[in-house]
Amino acid sequence: MQPDPVASRILEILSEVAEGVDTNNIDPDASLRDQLGLDSVDFLDFVMVLRSRYGIEVPEEDYGEFSTLNTAVAYLGPKFDKSGPA
């Protein structure tokens, strides 16, 4: 099965902003923060990369959409489609 390109982008960014995290065995329905040991700075760095690299703005009220990999993919999928290729 081909990996989801949106999930791959998300995990790539997370591995950049939270150095040393292992994104290989992520449960897509479990908390990303708990699985990866992310803190609020890591998350803000993630949001900054989305904005600078892809032009995707994430309002603070939507931060809850990133609780799991699946919710993040559902939220960002359409936004990545609009932003174009990586």
Query: Which of 27, 29, 34, 39 is flagged as catalytic?
Result: 39
Q: What is the DSSP string of the chain?
A: -PPPHHHHHHHHHHHHHSTT---TT--TTSBHHHHHT--HHHHHHHHHHHHHHH-----GGGGGGGSBHHHHHHHHHHHHHHH---
Q: Is 39 a catalytic residue?
A: yes
Q: Which residues are marked as active site?
A: 39
